[in-house]
Amino acid sequence: MQKLLKRIENKDITVGVVGLGYVGLPLAVEFGNAGIRTIGIDVNEARVAQLNRGENYIQDVKDGELKTLVESGTFTATTDFSSIKHIDAICIAVPTPLSKTKDPDITYILSVNEQLEKYVHKGLIVILESTTYPGTTRELILPALEASGLKVGTDVFLLFSPERVDPGNPVFHTTNTPKVIGGVTENCLTLGKAVYAHIMDELVPVSSPEAAELTKLLENTFRSINIGLANEMAIMCAKLGVNVWEVIDAAATKPFGFMKFTPGPGLGGHCIPIDPHYLAWKMRTLDYKARFIELASEINSAMPEYVVELVVDGLNRDSKSINGSKILLLGMAYKPDIDDVRESPALDVYSILNAKGATVKFHDPYVDQIKFDSQMEATVALDLSTLDQYDCVVITTNHSEYDIKSIVENAKLVVDTRNATAGMKADKVIRLGES
């Protein structure tokens, strides 16, 4: 172990990253920037070919950085898992979606497990970063590593370190977000810390992989529950004739005991809508019902339908039916100024409106096209001069480049789910959380 530790400290190692998406590619680039030979592994052949040409597709990665790493040979991508034989430390950052019944889908982790069983070797450090239920690291990956007769903690080393990526965040990124890390043994933790020390400003060691797994789930369950509270408060304020945004801003002036969360059309992104269900599923296996999680999910999941109700009410006020109306959604990404549409509530708003007979179009400056069922739909141009051709414009994502004032002036009806029209006095604006 000491020889391996010394090699890590001297950067005389090769790091592998499995899964080259929003989490994996920025991580691989940071290892490369640190001067460590890095191999990215992904099953998507087109993606791998694109990376090996130095072409970037992740907003949080700088094009020039990637190209430099590829040209210098510091970073290379492959679909060949046998490269694990030449890797010293491998980070697993594959997707962990939910099934239709909101149970964990760990298919991608199991697929990586099969490859680890084939190519595991003495001295390999394996770090799972994919969000999953507590126990996954020890219950699934550990047996795969030890199937060859190697011993975790002595021959091979296993850890869990949750990704904390916030796409598009201008302040916090891979290196300056504190890195939680939990090893199966002390030796595992020591080596894992040494690997991440090359790219992370701060490490937060915990006592076990389970503690690290639960840390990530707590973070996003906390957010899900509090967003659920804000969403329910918006509905209650509308019924009471009070502006929810005013209430939240006033409460946020308290310097202690309150953290500001805001309502919206629902939850989006890969983490908040999904992670709490991993914990709820695990607790069901232990005959325990995670009531806060289920209640928050119920409220948050109903918000797209509530937004559609606001559209229906607005159209009714103008003596129009939603069936046959032309609706424009502004913003399909799950949050402002990014291109990520994973779990975006705008997708649900689109589908519900479409099912009710509306003709729905969307505009998003970051998203060129989206597949709905089997049909690919492209973003339309945002032309203020023709905005009045739509019966209703719905602000589903408040991208900073939208000229909200001009949009309101030119639209017939605006449903604002993000408080983008705050301070504007206009009878044709319906805001979420107002009567």
| CA nearest neighbour of 350 among 308, 392, 412 | 308
Per-residue three-class SS string for 134-190? CCHHHHHHHHHHHCCCCCECCCEEEEECCCCCCCCCCCCCCCCCCEEEEECCHHHHH
* 14-18/37-41 β-pairing: parallel
Name the catalytic one among 91, 188, 237, 271.
271
- Report the C-alpha gap between 323 and 129 in whole angstroms: 46
* 369-372/375-378 β-pairing: antiparallel
237 is catalytic: no
| CA nearest neighbour of 354 among 375, 334, 335, 337 | 375
- Report the C-alpha gap between 340 and 319 in whole angstroms: 36
Burial class (CB in 10 A: 0-12, 13-18, 19+), 92: buried
- Report the C-alpha gap between 367 and 376 in whole angstroms: 12
Torsion of CA 199, 170, 213, 153, to 10 degrees: 0
Residues assigned a catalytic role: 271
